[in-house]
Amino acid sequence: MHVVIMGCGRVGSTLALNVERRGNSVSIIDSNPESFRRLGQDFLGDTVTGVGFDRDVLIEAGIERADGFAAVSSGDNSNIISARLARETFNVPRVVARIYDAKRAEVYERLGIPTVATVSWTADRILRHLASLDTDEIWRDPTRGVAIIQIPLHEGWIGHQIRALEHATGARTAYVLRFGVSKLTTSSMLIQDGDQVFMLVNDNIHAQVAMVAAHEPDPDH
């Protein structure tokens, strides 16, 4: 998996090191080359000097083969512009933007771009969006028997009731993140475009639930 990160501040450098530690390739962009010192001498990824909303800079960083993009610079406008460019122009499947202004976050969530804030929480949440392993697991009980996972939904589920998804997957829905706000579900709740759905699973059904949710619903059920 290849990840491109814009911004080599505290969050960006921490994120880059953690992504690389998980065995992934990473390129990090910053307009100030001095910022790359935060990465240390052992960092093996690519460092690209420039701004993250410059197409040539993004291409140099490997955006055309990227599986994930994180915009974590100090500017909201720069972050959202580069995030939209990564998603809409280069079709990067996983895009996350750091937004300082909480009032803007809901607007960007409506665009389908997850937004995060604060240094330590940001690095952790972005990893959950980008990591290739255990990305969907956000909580596990102390006995290790039950987990809450985020499931990637096929667009065909939009407009269907939660009960249909639960019936098809054989799992219960824990909650839905809608426009940046977590909501408890009811069986009649309709799945909306942009919803992030979290389900309760055990290890036996984890893979099956994710597979069913990622495919178009069976019209006969």
Using one digit for the tens of pLDDT, what is the confidence trace for 37-73? 999 999 999 999 999 899 999 999 999 999 999 999 9
As a whole number of angstroms, the distance between CA 37 and CA 31 comes to: 13
CA distances from 30 to 73, 99, 157 (A): 8, 17, 39
Distances (CA, A) of 53 to 27, 125, 212: 15, 22, 36
DSSP state of 144: S
| Residue 96 pLDDT > 50 | yes
Q: How far apart are CA 197 and CA 152, in angstroms?
A: 8
Please enumerate in sequence order all residues whose Cβ is within 8 A of that of 62, keeping only pairs 6 or more positions apart, or say none: 2, 4, 25, 27, 46
Residue 182 has a CB neighbour count (10 Å cut-off) of 11
Q: Output 221 or 144, whichever has higher pLDDT.
A: 144
What percentage of the chain exceeds 90 in pLDDT? 58
Cα–Cα distance, 46 to 28 (Å, whole number):
6
Percent of the chain's residues with pLDDT above 70: 85
- What CA dihedral angle connects 178, 183, 186 and 191, to 10 degrees? 10
* Residue 201: Cβ within 10 Å count: 23
CA nearest 17: which of 127, 139, 129, 122?
127
C-alpha distance from residue 205 to each of 3, 6, 41, 74 (Å): 29, 36, 42, 41
pLDDT tens per residue across span 137-167 = 888 775 668 889 999 899 999 999 999 999 9
Domain architecture of the chain: domains with CATH: 2-130 (3.40.50.720), 137-213 (3.30.70.1450)
Residue 135's pLDDT band, with cuts at 50, 70 and 90, is very low
pTM of structure? 0.56
